[in-house]
């Protein structure tokens, strides 16, 4: 699975890459939203992990632009230090598939990735058969 990490903090980006590489994911790092958008236009990614607060283009604007112009849209998870119910609601309303608050544990991140991937690839349920008797 190919994952794009949009994170301006080099230490956070390094930690994410280490966690994800150890879990056998292919990881590309972009240091801001502008770099991330350029990368995603060049190569298909299964997942985008984006920080919210970044220079040049923040994570919320990045999500909006991806939803408008990229097909297929990857799973998008916001990873942020903005921790509140309002922040979570805003991130999800802006098009994120999920939200993870910093600081987080590696297991939380990996479980969230698995859950998002499972949800995205669930088969569409068939409508129930309804029989009508005269």
3-state SS string over the chain? CEEEEECCCHHHHHHHHHHHHHCCCEEEEECCHHHHHHHHHHCCCCEEEEECCCCCCCHHHHHHHHHHHCCCCCEEEEEECCCCHHHHHHHHHCCCCEEEECCCCHHHHHHHHHHHHHHHCCCCCCCCCCCCCC
Cβ atoms of 36 and 8 closer than 8 Å:
no
CATH topology of domain 2-120: Rossmann fold (3.40.50)
Give the pTM.
Answer: 0.86
pLDDT string in tens for the chain (134-residue length): 899 999 999 999 999 999 999 999 999 999 999 999 999 999 999 999 999 999 899 999 999 999 999 999 999 999 999 989 999 999 999 999 999 999 999 999 999 998 887 777 666 566 666 666 66
Cβ atoms of 82 and 52 closer than 8 Å:
yes
pLDDT of residue 133: 61
């Amino acid at each position: 699975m190919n994952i794009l990490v949009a994170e301006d903090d080099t230490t956070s980006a390094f930690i994410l890459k280490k966690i994800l590489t150890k879990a056998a994911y292919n990881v590309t790092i972009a240091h801001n939203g502008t770099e991330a958008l350029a990368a995603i236009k060049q190569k298909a990614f299964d997942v985008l992990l984006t920080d919210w607060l970044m220079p040049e283009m923040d994570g919320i604007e990045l999500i909006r632009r991806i939803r408008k112009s990229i097909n297929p849209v990857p799973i998008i998870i916001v990873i942020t230090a903005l921790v509140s119910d309002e922040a979570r609601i805003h991130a999800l309303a802006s098009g994120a598939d999920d939200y993870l608050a910093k600081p987080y544990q590696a297991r939380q991140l990996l479980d969230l990735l698995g859950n998002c991937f499972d949800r995205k690839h669930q088969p569409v349920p068939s409508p129930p058969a309804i029989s009508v008797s005269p």
